Amino acid sequence: MNFDLTEEQHLFRESVRKWVVNECPKDWCRDLERREHEYPQELWDRLTRAGFHGVGIPEEYGGLGGDIITQALFARELARHAGGLAWIWGITSFSGAHALRVHGSEEQKREMLPKMAAGDLRAAMSFSEPSGGTDLLGGMKTEARKVGDGWVVNGEKIWSTTADTADYLLLMARSEKNPSRRTDGISVFFVPRETPGITVTPLPKLGMRALSSCAVHFEDAFVPDDLLLGEAGRAWYDTTKTLNNERILNTAMCLGMLDGVLEDALEHMKTRSAFGKTIGHFQILQHYVADIAMAQKQIELLLYNTAWLQAEGRPCGVESTMAKTCASEAVSKAADRGISILGGMGYSAETDMQRYWRDSRLLSIGPISNEMARNVIAEGFGLPRSF
């Protein structure tokens, strides 16, 4: 059994790490994050100049290539400093581009993927609705009605992150009124955000405040046929094919934030003094660090194992769901301990611990909640579906 990165993966990780240290210092990311609804354009531009929007996009479509392991390495290193702002890369390059690769026609891929890789096209995901994120199908009221050479969309989406600045919204809607199965009759469209009839409203939230998560209202918004991705009515089946990738990359983002927590905790323990010695002498704080370090190791092993299974084309639905669930809980707990280690400074907007704590909390809620994730895991062990 070999858990080593290849020479190429190792060099890639080192080069990304160096880039992150130089181009995304933590204090810069901290300052960007707190500017609510102020899109961190400079972060996007720096990623563009480095070519990193192309990570994971195949070379034949203008990207840098790289399998799921390479993408996970990138997500981890970026999140170590950028925290939840790493979604600025993730939404377009791993959610948007991956969905396009799975659902899209060859023509659509040739048209869109090179622009995504070059940083010239931004996507946002508009799947969740006010009446249901976990029960996505049960709550889906947004309708796409067929007319002539296109579709007319009416409905409301919620939490669509970066929808206010995206060029395109990856929209999931019900395109058939009374399908025989609730998984039928769902379609996905790539909708230009500036389409008449679309209104985007940023929502205030706890973390990654600069990247707005938005309510998106559709009122008779027309989408031409050539922006339907895949076959009408079959999108649910294609979407389920993207879930392992998404969960593996969510795990990598959690692990990156956990790395950031550990290094900040250690630095503080070596420099802050109390009772005549540095606080790193206190056993209870050492135990907190040991807990964080053990979690880091466990998540790293889960991540590498699951990414390897996925890269090998082997089934890993349960494993990727386990990894995402364990990682999101581990990073939240680690950041909480990190706040304790930093004391008052852990609660201060002048350090990053509070930012990791706020940003990481989302990953227990979405894209799949950890409660629903546990349902999926239990079902994988042969138990009946509980919902």
Ligand X SMILES: Cc1cc2nc3c(=O)[nH]c(=O)nc-3n(C[C@H](O)[C@H](O)[C@H](O)COP(=O)(O)OP(=O)(O)OC[C@H]3O[C@@H](n4cnc5c(N)ncnc54)[C@H](O)[C@@H]3O)c2cc1C
| Count of positions (residues) in the chain | 387
Separation CA 55–CA 66 (nearest Å): 6
Instruction: Give me the least distance between CB of 243 and ligand X, in Å please.
Output: 12
Residue bearing tokens 């201060």: 348
Q: In this complex, which beta carbon is closest to ligand X, that of residue 173 or of residue 299?
A: 173
Q: In this complex, which beta carbon is closest to ligand X, that of residue 8 or of residue 371?
A: 371
Contact with ligand X (CB under 6 A) among 132, 150, 179, 197: 132
Stretch that binds ligand X, among 2-10, 122-130, 144-152, 289-297 (CB under 6 A): 122-130
Stretch that binds ligand X, among 70-78, 119-127, 238-246, 306-314 (CB under 6 A): 119-127
Q: Is 134 in the site for ligand X (CB under 6 A)?
A: yes
Instruction: Give me the least distance between CB of 114 and ligand X, in Å please.
Output: 23
Instruction: Give me the least distance between CB of 126 and ligand X, in Å please.
Output: 6
| Residue window 323-362: x/- pattern of binding to ligand X, with contact defined by CB under 6 A | ---------------------------------------x
Footprint of ligand X on residues 139-198 (CB under 6 A)?
Answer: 159-161
Contact with ligand X (CB under 6 A) among 128, 244, 250, 306: 128
Contacts for 315 with CB less than 8 Å, ≥ 6 apart: 309
Q: Is 375 in the site for ligand X (CB under 6 A)?
A: yes
Asked if 145 contacts 173 with a C-beta cutoff of 8 angstroms, the reply is: no
Q: Is 36 in the site for ligand X (CB under 6 A)?
A: no
Q: In this complex, which beta carbon is closest to ligand X, that of residue 127 or of residue 356?
A: 127
Q: In this complex, which beta carbon is closest to ligand X, that of residue 69 or of residue 173?
A: 173
Separation CA 164–CA 202 (nearest Å): 7
Q: In this complex, which beta carbon is closest to ligand X, that of residue 215 or of residue 372?
A: 372
Stretch that binds ligand X, among 21-29, 132-140, 144-152, 341-349 (CB under 6 A): 132-140
Hey, how many other C-beta atoms are within 10 angstroms of the C-beta on 280? 18
Instruction: Give me the least distance between CB of 224 and ligand X, in Å please.
Output: 22
Compute CA distances 339 → 264, 285, 292, whole Å. Answer: 10, 11, 12
Q: In this complex, which beta carbon is closest to ligand X, that of residue 23 or of residue 156?
A: 156
Instruction: Give me the least distance between CB of 59 and ligand X, in Å please.
Output: 27
Q: In this complex, which beta carbon is closest to ligand X, that of residue 296 or of residue 375?
A: 375
Q: Is 71 in the site for ligand X (CB under 6 A)?
A: no
Q: Residue 325 corresponds to which amino acid?
A: T
Taking CB positions, which residue lies at the least distance from ligand X? 133
Q: Is 376 in the site for ligand X (CB under 6 A)?
A: no
Residues contacting ligand X: total by CB under 6 A = 22
Contact with ligand X (CB under 6 A) among 5, 137, 365, 377: 365
Contact with ligand X (CB under 6 A) among 5, 102, 266, 372: 372
Q: In this complex, which beta carbon is closest to ligand X, that of residue 125 or of residue 307?
A: 125
Contact positions toward ligand X, by CB under 6 A? 125-128, 132-135, 159-161, 205, 213, 362, 365-367, 369, 371-372, 375, 387
